[in-house]
Chain A
Amino acid sequence: MMEDKPIGERLWAIAIWVLVIFFVINVLATIAAVAVDSFGTRWFNSWLPAGFTTCWYSSAWDEFQLHDVLIVTFEVVGAVVLLAGLLGVPAAYALARRNFPGKQAVILLFLLPMMIPPITFGIPLATVLYQAHLGGNMSGVILANLVPTVPFVVLVMIPFIEQIDPRIEAAARVFGAGTGRLFVHVLVPLLAPGILAALLLVLVRTIAMFELTFFTAGPDSQTLVVTLYYAVGSAGVRSNQSIDAMAVVYMLTTLVWLLIALRFVDPTQIVTRAKREAAH
């Protein structure tokens, strides 16, 4: 706050900033390494590739059947976003507006799939899905990805709904609106930004969600991130550059939606909204 800070404090501040900048540089370098490699002709023993080309993108497109994979990815993500919204928003409304017996138990029920990491319940879930003959195809993948997502939507939407003064709804009812019209004319317009934010966050998360799809997908129902994993794992067989080209395509799909989401949501909320609700 004042001009002359003691030397110790200044050194400490500088050290922290150095650490932060170091972290940021490494993050950017990691991403850049993938991008640069994907455009390089050959890159073995130098700072930058010998030359630049875009041929790896077309070869990756064919090699990994990216067209089909992208379609699968967007179908899965689209279905997850839609279904999570349809299941989650009404549930969030009920939890925000009503204090029924067993409410705490229901909230705990929604917290569990978010707190327990996908691997722990993913394998039993995959087993069940395979038994129900849903495993190995798109419906199984969609269902599996919905498991942590529906609670996420619920927990993110509850504070949004609580922010809307219930007296507005009461006023609408006093003026003659039934539940249907209440929803359409009052609630949805007021909730639209919150719903949009929540669904965008779901979209971004689902594109990157690895473990659940990994366990439940069949050869033609893999999302992009799973295909990427298999490719990286078989790096000796396939050329690294085309893997990186696919990686760049993956990065673009996530980051484009991230940028769109950021217009509506503070980046902090991507993390803390859900986790703070989970924590209380």
Chain B
Amino acid sequence: MAIAARDFRELRLDGMSRNFGTVNALKGVTLNVRRGEFIALLGPSGCGKSTALNCLAGLLTLSGGSIWLDKTRIDRLAPEERGFGMVFQNYALFPHMSVRKNIGFGLNMQGRPKAEIERKVDEALAIVRLGDQGEKLPGQLSGGQQQRVAIARAIVIEPPLVLMDEPLSNLDAKLRLEMRAEIRRIHELIGSATIYVTHDQEEALSLADRIVVMRAGEVRQVGTPEDLYVRPAHADVAEFMGYRNQIRSRATKSGNLVNVSIGGVSLQGTPIENVSDGEVVAAVRPDDLKVAAGGPISATVESAQYHGHDFYCLGRTDEGIELYFRLSQKVKKGDAVRLAADADRVLVYSRAAP
């Protein structure tokens, strides 16, 4: 493959901080990225993920910390000197240039000979499967096509690192799924490291080699998608990863596990944080809360949404605790159900933790 990412061993973020006046948008982010890795920065709005990306690109200066590419310190360099490719949320395609000129812009800036630029632009167009759209203006393309041009423009300069800022958020659901696969395919083809910002946990789970969950400017957890899905490290990470049931309770130790009382009933759970007989939050995924005839928790169905494959229900215990669960049989409002969950799927966190 003629277009291939430049080699490097490691990108190191060392205590990256950024303030806006009195607001600490980034508080000491530390991370190592290896060549060829796909990293997702995941978090709710305002968590600092876009700020982190802009600092990496050089569009924002750091208030503290440093960024290293192997042995070179790069956080003092202007964006035009870093050589990273970036795909913007609104694509940022130059409206007055054709698709070919857009893609070739970076190579033009490097002063490459015309023949080489033409050749590489052809390859990039082929990679993103837009071979026949070269002479169009961005305004004449659909959203998905514009997205691909933006990607092509970023990869054609063969950067060691590609930065993507929520590139799929402006596309409709179907296109988003298609483009997800495309992005992963292109990433593997080119072999560059990719840092991908998103607020969609499904996107992060399906695309990333490692996910960095952020909140309020801090890194909450770094791990593989499986790690984050099965064992989120904190209650807020769990909530973000889809553990929609967050039950406040008290816990008592029981061997390696703890007993959590939910509505007068005791449920066994796995402690994740240091839970010493105190106030806790028990987190359970709706799919892990199963309807079982002899289950300990009794609840009344309040609403049941038909999702085709199953029903997504909201139930309420006698004490008024709301629980979300899934069920393949049909139920309706007012039905009584009994719920149970395996101990290793009930994750218990300390409530005192930040």
Contact = CB atoms under 8 A, between A and B. Distances in A.
A163 B110 CA distance: 44
A2 B79 CA distance: 9
Interface of B: 58-59, 61, 76-79
A1 B58 CA distance: 9
A2 B77 CA distance: 7
Which secondary structure dominates where chain A touches chain B? loop
Contacts, number: 11
Interface residues of A, number: 3
A177 B61 CA distance: 55
Contacts of B76: 2-3
Contacts of B79: 1
Contacts of A1: 58-59, 61, 78-79
Nearest to B60: A1
Which secondary structure dominates where chain B touches chain A? loop
Contacts of A2: 58, 61, 76-78
Contacts of B61: 1-2
A227 to B, nearest CB: 51
Nearest to B81: A2
A1 B80 CA distance: 11
A8 to B, nearest CB: 15
B61 to A, nearest CB: 7
Interface string A210-230: 000000000000000000000
B264 to A, nearest CB: 49
Contacts of B58: 1-2
Nearest to A2: B78
11 contacts: A1-B58, A1-B59, A1-B61, A1-B78, A1-B79, A2-B58, A2-B61, A2-B76, A2-B77, A2-B78, A3-B76
A2 B61 CA distance: 7
A3 B62 CA distance: 12
A7 B78 CA distance: 16
Nearest to A1: B78
A237 B58 CA distance: 67
